[in-house]
Amino acid sequence: MIPLLIFLILTLSVQSSSSSPISITLNPKTLIKSGDSVQIQWEGINSPSELDWLGIYSPPNSSHNNFIGYIFLSSSCSNWKSGSCSISLPLVNLRSNYQFRIFRWTENEVNRTNLDQDHNPLPGTDHLLVKSEELGFESGHGPEQIHLSFTDKEDEMRVMFITSDGKDSFVKFGKKESRLDEVVKTEVKRYEREDMCDWPANENVGWRDPGFIHDGVMRNLKDGKRYYYKVGSDEGGWSATQNFISRDGDADETYAFLFGDMGTSTPYSTFLRTQDESKATIKWILRDMKALGDKPAFISHIGDISYARGYSWLWDTFFTQIEPVASKLPYHVCIGNHEYDWPLQPWKPSWAEKLYGTDGGGECGVPYSLKFNMPGNSSVPTGLRAPATKNLYYSYDAGVVHFVFMSTETDFLPGSNQYSFIKHDLENVDRKKTPFVVFQGHRPMYTTSNEAKDAPFREKILEHIEPLFVKNKVTLALWGHVHRYERFCPMKNFTCATTGLNGQDENLPVHVVIGMAGQDWQPIWKPRSDHPTDPVYPQPDRSLFRGGEFGYTRLLATKEKLILTYIGNHDGEPHDILEILAPGKVLNRSSGDAVEESSVSWYVKWGSFWVLGAFLGYVVGFLSHARKASASSKSWTPVKTEES
């Protein structure tokens, strides 16, 4: 009996001496700004499992289940089987400290009912192995999440940013980086957890303190000049100096970057799918922005902005991701279903009962309405404690183009304020100043995707808004929501424009779906009605180009023509180009080709073929060619193209 007892004691002693305590260390222990990385190193994990995982928590007192993200050790480190390894993780400043925890999760504990958006089981938290010390961000380095936007006045520029304490902050600006003599105090606002309308936005799992939102306006700017600015305070620190080109009301050209449904990317998994392709979209826009030099430009993001959907730290991640471009170019938005929709939203007609659901994750438009401040004063009450929803519909001129934005999530029917605004706005465009009109909204009026759920909406917008387009000769209508690129012929009521006996074409808008900036849930195209389950998707005559490539569009317009270029993210090159002539202009073709003259307000070129050279740095790659009957009876055959 005694020898057996001695043997057991010796065995336990050997096991104890051969095992070391699990440790997790951080380097550095304090970060400077969002986007900086921390090295996370762990040691001493016995018998590592493929399901061991690292949880990322902020604030540090969050319960185990309320992580902001997680990483499986086996997928993040090639040496994970040794029980010791490290990873580098970039983080966003959430205005509270971080903590990291490692858990053991076993196969028999996998809960197939507790799933993330991709239907993968969320990791279990029953067996905590180790916690790290806290990681924070240094104070005194100034505000973050800086972004610009237009106001209702052409000699102004709005700048917004986030601080952790809401104390007095300012904007310093001027035309010389060394002399920021003008100073503007910012207004401050914020929202609370009680302002959220539903789960998860108003629950512990989704809510995080959003900080304080600052809003300042730089006034009396000279047309088309480069200005320098920084934001912050002596007490809280100043941002790095940024710069932008002011608006030019007399400009004879327009530059813009337009897309929908971009979202944001995280370096970890979380409760929702995030949008890795959004990084490439920003990368290529940053390239194009630098190439513009001193040309004023802006960005238009038409709905489904961050895809936070109630998980508030994704808004912080989004604004950090876009800051390199949004701090230099005005960043304009319109509302999408994933910013707004919730079960009790005030406008939900009977035909939309299944259309407007829970896509907003309980945010009911609150973060969207406060974090952005678009021109105009459109708003609708939520009917709850939540503040009114803003940034719904507005318009502005930029060079030779009049841009109009609408809300597809709130009332747009005759009798509504929005319908009256759209009607009045389109009827009063100065076509001598802005020969082109570009209209934008989230849910598309036209699509050939298999999107049956939105059919009632499309019926209503076709019935009530399309006649305004046709009557007022809207040039181009851009839409998101469908995460593909699709360009249509000039049309109304599903019918392409025709050439009359006098040789003149109808003045009809071109519709383009541009919801391909990042969200990777890809709908299929509509199948054949008599073979709904076969993977054959005919392309109707009205659909001239369909692409599945992630990307964005660039717009260039002069007094002579408007060019919309579809840029693909995998190569940063054009994949489709649309050209529209201004009223009374002539398309000059190479020697030997016919020259087509028309007094109508547009001319459309489409199809696809490789071209060389550039037009002001924009027109390269695929060029869309014309389908239009000329006075000489020469006609162009429509080329229907689809990229895989």
Q: Is 613 left (phi over 0), alpha (psi -120 to 50) or beta?
A: left
Between 139 and 16, residue with greater pLDDT:
139
Which band of pLDDT confidence, cut at 50, 70 and 90, is reported for residue 631? very low
Q: Is the pLDDT of residue 366 over 70?
A: yes
What dihedral angle (degrees, nearest 10) is formed by the CA atoms of 367, 369, 372, 376? 180
- State the pLDDT at residue 191: 97
In CATH, the number for domain 144-588 is 3.60.21.10
Numbered ranges of CATH 2.60.40 in the chain: 23-137
Task: Round to whole Å and give the CA distance between 218 and 238.
Answer: 17
Q: How many CB atoms lie within 10 A of CB 476?
A: 25
**In the chain, ranges of CATH 3.60.21.10 domains:** 144-588
E-strand ranges in 250-292 read 253-259
Q: Please tell me the distance from the alpha carbon of residue 217 to that of residue 226, in angstroms, as a whole number.
A: 16
Q: What are 249-273's pLDDT values in tens digits? A: 999 999 999 999 999 999 999 999 9
Is the pLDDT assigned to residue 348 strictly greater than 90? yes
**CATH of 23-137 given 3.40.50, 2.60.40, 3.30.70, 2.60.120:** 2.60.40
pLDDT band at 507 (very low <50, low <70, confident <90, very high): confident
Sign, CA torsion 264/270/271/276: positive
Taking alpha carbons only, the member of 73, 49, 69, 77 closest to residue 122 is: 69
CB 44 within 8 A of CB 104: no
How confident is the model at residue 503, as a pLDDT? 41
Is the pLDDT score of 158 beyond 90? yes
Q: Which long-range contacts (CB under 8 A, 24 or more apart) does 633-641 make?
A: 634/594, 638/489, 638/541, 638/544, 638/606, 638/607, 639/544, 639/606, 639/607, 639/608, 640/539, 640/541, 640/543, 640/544, 640/545, 641/544, 641/545, 641/546, 641/576, 641/607, 641/608
Weakest-pLDDT range from 210-224, 497-511, 624-638 = 624-638
Q: How far apart are CA 348 and CA 357, in angstroms?
A: 9
Q: Which run of H or E residues covers position 38?
A: strand 37-43
Residue 529 has pLDDT above 70, yes or no: yes
Looking at the chain, the whole-number percentage of residues with pLDDT higher than 90 is: 77
pLDDT at position 597 is 32
Count how many Cα atoms sit within 13 Å of the Cα of residue 514 in the half-sphere of its side chain.
32
What pLDDT digit, counting tens, does each position of 120-139 carry?
Answer: 889 999 999 999 999 999 99
Burial class (CB in 10 A: 0-12, 13-18, 19+), 30: middle
Model confidence at 598: pLDDT above 50: no
Question: Quick check: 76 pLDDT over 50?
Answer: yes
- 415: DSSP letter: T
* pLDDT classification of 614: cutoffs 50, 70, 90: very low
Q: How confident is the model at residue 364 (pLDDT cuts 50, 70, 90)?
A: very high
SS3 content of the chain, % helix, strand, coil (to 5): 15, 30, 55
Tell me which of 562 and 583 has the higher pLDDT: 562
